[in-house]
Amino acid sequence: MSSLLHEKLQDILQTSIETHQFDRAEQAVSYMRQLARIEAFIAGEPFQSSAASVSASVQQDKTENSPKDLLSPAADPASIHNINDHQRKPDALMLYYIEEDNLLKFKKPPQTYAVSVELFRKFLNNLESWKEKEPFSSKTFYEAFANDLRTFTTYQSSTLRQFITLLFRYCHKLDVLMKPSPPQRSRFYVNDSLNTEEVIEDIVKQKILKL
């Protein structure tokens, strides 16, 4: 029964992404999380609730054959939220890959941004160039790289600035950006393990992430 439900939910998810019905896609992800949690409970196994586990569930991969996690091996346990947190929090971050347009859609209600994969690649490349830099803010990053990024979008400066700020939140959830210790307000440093092409490849494979 659970495998049949999983298959039907996966079909709904895939169709919803292809037809840009993102609210329905989010519902499918939520139900797939619940189903995975029930299966883990019945099997007497711990439920893994990281962002990457959702994407692995979408692809029906077992642990030994799952796509490479976006989370680093040394992910801070505090960054891993249980399923109830995801359902309660109104600021859950959604990330979609729209294959036919080669676009990435970043959704944090009420904000939604759709940008080319090339813009995100440029953003990550710029972050990679700052791997050795002391903790910095999204404002500092924007001031340094805004001109590079403008060539990939029609967003006005104020909109692009807001988008970069939101991207920093996404990248922190994905362990692309890390918080220094002790924490510094709104400042991050780049994870040494960041590899732009690996991050993009994982997103393209997984198609949808709920962070």
Per-residue pLDDT at 20? 66
Q: Average pLDDT, stretch 10-20?
A: 72
Residue 45 confidence (pLDDT): 73
Question: For residue range 32-91, what is the model confidence (pLDDT) as tens digits?
Answer: 777 777 877 777 777 554 444 444 444 443 333 333 333 333 333 333 344 344 444 446
Using DSSP, state whether 185 is helix, strand or coil: coil
Asked whether the beta carbons of 57 and 51 are under 8 A apart, the reply is: no
Per-residue pLDDT at 21: 73
Do the bridges between strand 208-210 and strand 103-108 make them parallel or antiparallel, or are there none, so unpaired? unpaired
Of 15-19, 163-167, 193-197, the range with the lowest mean pLDDT is 15-19
pTM: 0.63
Decide which of 92 and 140 is more confident.
Answer: 140
Q: What's the average model confidence in pLDDT over 2-25?
A: 73
